[in-house]
Amino acid sequence: MKNTINLSIDENGVAELLFDMPDSPVNLLSSNVLNELEQHLIGMSENKTIKIALFTSAKDGIFIAGADISEIADLDDEKTSYDKVKRGQSILSRISVLPFPTVAIINGACLGGGFELALSCDFRIATENSKTKIGLPEVNLGVLPGFGGTQRLKRLIGFSKSLELILGGKIINGNKAQKLGMVDACVPVGYLDFKQDSFIKSILDDNERSKILSKRYKDNLLEKYLPNIILYFAKKEVMKKTKGQYPAPLAILDLFEQTKDVRLDEAIEMEATSFAKLSITQISKNLIGLFYTSEALKKENGTDKKIKTHPIKLTAVVGGGIMGAGIVWLFSKIGLSVRLVDQNYGAIGNAFKFINSAYQAIVKRRRLTKREVEIKMGHISYSCDYVGLKHADLCVEAIIENREAKKKLYANLEAIVDKKAIIATNTSSISVTSLAGDMKYPERFVGMHFFNPVNRMPLVEIIAGEKTSPEAVATVVELAKRGGKIPIIVGDCAGFLVNRVLLPYINEAIKMFEEGEDIERIDKLILDFGMPMGPFTLADEVGLDVGYKVGCVLEEAYGKRMKVANMFDIIYNQKKLLGKKAGKGFYIHSGKNKSINKDVKDLVTMQHSYNSEEIVDRMMLVMLNEASRCLEEGVIKNADYLDMALILGTGFPPFRGGLMRYAQNRGINNVVVTLHRLADAYGSRFEPCELLIRMAKNNENFFEE
């Protein structure tokens, strides 16, 4: 087997441990690499010629990307996990006791175990390379840093800053890392060699070295007495964000509490114990599964082939409502020229208000300066007609959800834009193939379904119609990624994937309300299940008009099982309620507060209280049944992507791993038995689909165990 670490020692006694994992674009701290490292460290500790040791990487844009996650995924008993993490700790601790100074040269991703290695060194230099990313993101995988990282970081930058970074799994650039004291210097990449040499000289000079060390964090009285207060507020924040459903952040808080006044070796021991407990939880396995899925999605280009995409520089968005405004904002943010077209000047004015406020939120978080925002806003032009669209490389249509209006618009657009320009629709429910029916060049037409609000929702469903070219698909996939979104290819059916699965869920909640169940109780139970909001709150947020119209499209396409609940009809068509945007829906909304809308509540006179489990089952299994149909019909490539799409598009709780993972953890047989029972009690919409029946019969699963 080829080695990962190459040791060289020059005539000045400068040792370099160069990490270069064979046949891999990244360096990982796998068990094998750690063993190799240990051998080097043992040899180096006895080598009297070494004056200083540098830890470097030969990979482009990577220092050490982390521990080998597949090894964490495989852990299934606490003792093995503890032994493994202890071994990692003891190897990294060897770095900290080497008889000469050690320096990590961080020019690229330095995450998790990689940063823990860097923390074991005496000094760290980072670069301003945009690929230099530093942090301990283990919490996102349901564990905590286990190679001494929690304790070494705390000693390096202080209690509150380290807690914040570790709890948030924050990843930051070199300059910020220097500001926080995580690295001793941050230098431009071009100067790295030169700066590295002068840094080595400084470290080897007593005076200069103490100057570097004097800039480090010093324990202060405030930090000594503050931890309890910091922990109290941090816990409050964690509970608010996670409702206690994620064990890792709570374990991190406990560890920080227990190790407040404990020696490093004892504290590290506690860290290992805590890591071992977390690493074998189902929640950690679920989160690791999602990590793999997001990595797989990054590699997708939307087609099976390597394809040249259409260059996109000039764009247009037609329809400046809530969605159009969001898309214009996104395009301008990534530096594209964008022309906003709406038939109505008022709508354009509102769109600019929205775009401005989305940018102001970023300025407030100091991610962009006012000047940068001015430049980006300068990329936006507008008009009420189609002039100026001739040169557009891409036009996104985001007008009202009306088939005829959309088709008429495409005819107008095709008469103006170049025949190669891509036309994308943001329709939330109408088949792309049907919309392309009268187009002259249907191969350039593609679905690009953003979610509301565009500036916060990461998912974009990409839909190819029957005649859409792979080039058009690959182009919008690439564009969505450029915008920081996660594009997922879904089939061209009514509602595509997310709305097709979500609408039956909202419908089911409304049906239970019709049967006499309490709106707030349903919302609360679903919130407790882990969804970001209950179904009635969600319906109000989305807009009852939007939800109702999508519901009708789905009923038309799928028939009885998607029949729009009567009460939805009454509330939208008779009561004319629109939800939060008009202040009234299932709830009365006033600013951030909401209270139940008595007028709606009083529409149902009978009362019926289901048991909690029944409510959750009806809600989750109606979705699950439809999601399984989507899988069966090939609307989505696999169960992993399906889970990710629902997590990103509906907020399905990641700690459950996704809807299909939830089904598997619960047992497919149990799902099918429960669906049969629900079908008997409430109607045929619950009859399990063929895929589920077959899987239960053959003892199959969605995912490998």
Binding residues for ligand NAI, rule: CB under 6 A, are 318-324, 341-344, 347, 398-401, 405, 409, 426-428, 449-452, 542, 546
Dihedral sign, Cα of residue 67, residue 68, residue 69, residue 74: negative
The rounded distance, in Å, linking the Cα atoms of 572 and 546 is 10
Q: Contact, 691 vs 629, CB < 8 A?
A: yes
- Nearer to ligand NAI by Cβ, of 115 and 382: the residue is 382
Q: How far is CA 524 from the centre of its chain?
A: 24
- Nearer to ligand NAI by Cβ, of 150 and 426: the residue is 426
Kindly state the smallest distance separating residue 198's Cβ from ligand NAI, in Å.
Answer: 55
Kindly state the smallest distance separating residue 351's Cβ from ligand NAI, in Å.
Answer: 8
Per-residue buried b or exposed e for 427-451, using 16+ beta carbons within 10 Å of the residue's own CB: bbbbbbbebbeebebbbbbbbbbbb
Q: Where are the beta strands (DSSP E) in 73-205?
A: 102-106, 109-111, 123-127, 134-135, 171-172, 185-187
Kindly state the smallest distance separating residue 304's Cβ from ligand NAI, in Å.
Answer: 27
CA-closest candidate to residue 568, choices 609, 598, 536, 541: 536
449 part of the active site: yes
The rounded distance, in Å, linking the Cα atoms of 88 and 116 is 10
Cα dihedral: 110, 112, 117, 122 (round 10): 70
Helix, strand, or coil (residue 167): helix
- Nearer to ligand NAI by Cβ, of 361 and 405: the residue is 405
- Nearer to ligand NAI by Cβ, of 198 and 412: the residue is 412
What type of residue sits at position 690?
A: E
Kindly state the smallest distance separating residue 339's Cβ from ligand NAI, in Å.
Answer: 12
- Nearer to ligand NAI by Cβ, of 158 and 324: the residue is 324
Kindly state the smallest distance separating residue 544's Cβ from ligand NAI, in Å.
Answer: 11
Of all helices (H) and strands (E), which one includes residue 62? Answer: strand 62-64
Of all helices (H) and strands (E), which one includes residue 425? Answer: strand 422-425
- Nearer to ligand NAI by Cβ, of 531 and 546: the residue is 546
CA-closest candidate to residue 398, choices 479, 318, 485: 318
- Nearer to ligand NAI by Cβ, of 252 and 398: the residue is 398
Residues forming a β-bridge with 530? none
Kindly state the smallest distance separating residue 542's Cβ from ligand NAI, in Å.
Answer: 5
Q: Contact, 339 vs 389, CB < 8 A?
A: yes
**Residue 473: HSE in the Cβ half-sphere, 13 Å Cα cutoff:** 24
Q: Contact, 128 vs 188, CB < 8 A?
A: yes
Kindly state the smallest distance separating residue 539's Cβ from ligand NAI, in Å.
Answer: 11
- Nearer to ligand NAI by Cβ, of 26 and 347: the residue is 347
Q: Contact, 8 vs 15, CB < 8 A?
A: yes
Cβ-closest position to ligand NAI? 321
Kindly state the smallest distance separating residue 583's Cβ from ligand NAI, in Å.
Answer: 17
Kindly state the smallest distance separating residue 429's Cβ from ligand NAI, in Å.
Answer: 6
Residues forming a β-bridge with 9? 15
Q: Contact, 292 vs 641, CB < 8 A?
A: no
Kindly state the smallest distance separating residue 326's Cβ from ligand NAI, in Å.
Answer: 8
The rounded distance, in Å, linking the Cα atoms of 403 and 406 is 5
What type of residue sits at position 329?
A: W
Helix, strand, or coil (residue 317): strand
Strands 134-135 and 171-172 come out as antiparallel
- Nearer to ligand NAI by Cβ, of 444 and 580: the residue is 580
| Two structure tokens written together for 122 | 């005496």
| Residue of 449, 589, 608, 676 marked catalytic | 449
The rounded distance, in Å, linking the Cα atoms of 134 and 139 is 14
- Nearer to ligand NAI by Cβ, of 31 and 383: the residue is 383
Q: Contact, 271 vs 151, CB < 8 A?
A: yes
Active site amino acids: 449
